[in-house]
Structure 1
Amino acid sequence: MTTSSRTLQDLFGTFEREAFRLETLDDYSKSGNIGAYYAFLAGEPQPDDYNAGWVEELRSHTGKGKRIYRVHILRRPLTDYLRFELGWGYQKNMSGGEEFFILDITDRPNPLENVPDFWLFDSESAAVMTYDGAGKYLGSQVLPPERTAEFVGHRDAALAHAEPFTEWWAKYGA
């Protein structure tokens, strides 16, 4: 699905200051860590090495002073997948320096209705993520430079309406 000669992987390898991610789905369970998700559902403890590869990648970036952060748009009650992602994934990824924010639309309109999942790198390059209806990742499309400002605006709006994950989790987490 990538229509540019640059790929999402290229952008991860070359960003210099920051990488931002917007998550909009309630379920990504068909996109990876499927075994861990089923272990979570079965009530098993989180393995010590859960998400170790991603945490190492995070540390390689954040150790150089780069910022990696995301906003997840969600509503309560949380789906099983969101309880897994926030309880296992976010908690673990924070140990690698990733920052998380929650835009809870339970009692308010979504200020980013119809905005897709995306990554934004250094406010210069955006890649839209595509998923099927079951949360399976289908691919990404690196957008042309003239579309970047649109996604900078989406990032700024998401952050303006979100709160830090740790504060939100203290109120609503499992």
Structure 2
Amino acid sequence: MLLDGDEWQATLRGFRQEAWRLETLPRYRVPQETEEFDAFRAGRRVDSRAYSSPYTEDLDRLRREGKRKGRVHVVTRPLSEYLRFEFSRYYTPHVRAGEDIRILDVTDRTNPLPGVPDFWMFDRSKVVLMHYEEDGRQAGRELYEGDPAPFLEYQRIALTESMPFLEYVSE
């Protein structure tokens, strides 16, 4: 089943304990980011310590409610321009607001998750596959109707093999 609009928003907001994501692409083409990405490319930076958004405010609320949100992003160096943007614009303030963001750098080692697609997992039971075009544009979201066990294993591997974002960027 494809998830879009209100159904996707209800899924994204309706989890009880944990929302977790695996990201595998070096670039995501998100229309809402175009202006900010262009500003980043022109050398303008946002002070991540002062940054607030509905997303960071929601992370604060989730933390107060005892809920968790996290992700692991699989990367290779050199980081793409988009990843440098994403790290500075989103990941730093999101970590400060409570999201558990980790990086799985596979530059000098074998990827422990070859061929695993981007996905969201909610409450360790509901999986949404994220489909993308080659250029990073989202092509759709699909509710996975099979056994979530493989995705639980992908999460375990990703968490075990990755490092916390702030540790990664301080190296």
TM-score by length of 2: 0.90
Consecutive unaligned residues of structure 2, counting only runs of 5 or more, are none
Q: Which residue of 2 aligns with 1:106?
A: 107
Quick one: which amino acid aligns to residue 61 of structure 2?
S
Provide the rounded CA distance (Å) in 2 between the counterparts of 1:92 and 1:30.
19
CA separation of 1:14/1:136 partners in 2, compared to 1, >3 Å: closer, same or farther?
A: same
CA separation of 1:131/1:113 partners in 2, compared to 1, >3 Å: closer, same or farther?
A: same
Give the 3-state SS of the residue equivalent to 2:32 in structure 1: coil
Q: Which residue of 1 aligns with 2:90?
A: 89
Q: Which residue of 2 aligns with 1:56?
A: 57
Per-residue deviation, 1:45: 2.6
Provide the rounded CA distance (Å) in 1 between the counterparts of 2:124 and 2:86.
26
Per-residue deviation, 1:14: 1.8
Per-residue deviation, 1:55: 1.4
Paired residues of 1:51 and 1:89 also in contact (CA < 8 A):
no
Provide the rounded CA distance (Å) in 1 between the counterparts of 2:101 and 2:47.
21
Quick one: which amino acid aligns to residue 108 of structure 1?
R
Per-residue deviation, 1:148: 1.1
Provide the rounded CA distance (Å) in 1 between the counterparts of 2:68 and 2:88.
21
Per-residue deviation, 1:113: 0.8
Paired residues of 2:29 and 2:138 also in contact (CA < 8 A):
no
Consecutive unaligned residues of structure 1, counting only runs of 5 or more, are none
Q: Which residue of 2 aligns with 1:79?
A: 80
Quick one: which amino acid aligns to residue 147 of structure 1?
D
The superposition leaves residues 26-85 of structure 1 with CA deviations (integer Å, 9 ceiling, x where unpaired) of 001345311111111111131778661211222222221111011000010101000001
The superposition leaves residues 122-166 of structure 1 with CA deviations (integer Å, 9 ceiling, x where unpaired) of 10101010111111112211111x331111111111111101111
Q: Equivalent residues in 2 for 1:1-174 (5 A)? A: 2=2, 7-46=7-46, 52-144=53-145, 146-171=146-171
Provide the rounded CA distance (Å) in 1 between the counterparts of 2:35 and 2:47.
11
Provide the rounded CA distance (Å) in 1 between the counterparts of 2:41 and 2:82.
9
Provide the rounded CA distance (Å) in 2 between the counterparts of 1:84 and 1:112.
24
Per-residue deviation, 1:94: 1.8
Provide the rounded CA distance (Å) in 2 between the counterparts of 1:92 and 1:42.
21
